[in-house]
């Protein structure tokens, strides 16, 4: 499985971390002076956010495209503006944004 492409961080984003030791020497080369460093993804996690998507259950919908979800460890508020979710649905959430309905 190949790692997903990453977008360069926006203004004010955290500095790009060094690549893991298992990467090839070519991947570890330092950019030329004055060149912008472009973040890369390694493994299953994007270094710009270090989050992975998780399945949660919608407990109730709130106004403004928000919902309370059960994470299995408690309840959290997330955005469901990008999906057609209903109470009881299992949704996939990344960075507090629902990105898919995976079960009804």
Q: How confident is the model at residue 34 (pLDDT cuts 50, 70, 90)?
A: low
pLDDT at 78: 95
CATH number belonging to the domain at 54-103, selected among 3.30.420.40, 2.30.30.140, 1.10.1040.10, 3.20.20.120: 2.30.30.140
* Token couple for 10: 């926006």
- pLDDT tens sequence across 20-33: 444 444 444 555 66
Give domain limits for the chain. 1-50, 54-103
Residue 55: its H or E element? strand 54-62
User: For residue 104, what is the DSSP state?
Assistant: -
- Nearest Cα neighbor of 98 from 62, 74, 73, 45 is 62
Residue of higher predicted confidence among 23 and 52:
52
Which phi and psi (to 5°) does residue 27 adopt? -70, -20
């Amino acid at each position: 499985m190949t790692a997903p492409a990453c977008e360069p961080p926006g203004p004010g984003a955290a500095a790009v971390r060094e690549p893991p030791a298992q990467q090839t020497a070519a991947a570890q080369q330092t950019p030329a002076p004055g060149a912008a460093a472009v973040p890369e993804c390694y493994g299953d996690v994007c270094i710009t956010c270090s989050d992975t998507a998780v399945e949660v259950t919608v407990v109730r919908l709130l106004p403004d495209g928000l919902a309370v979800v059960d994470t299995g460890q408690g309840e959290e508020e997330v955005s469901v503006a990008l999906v057609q979710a209903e109470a009881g649905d299992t949704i996939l959430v990344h960075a507090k944004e629902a990105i898919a309905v995976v079960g009804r």
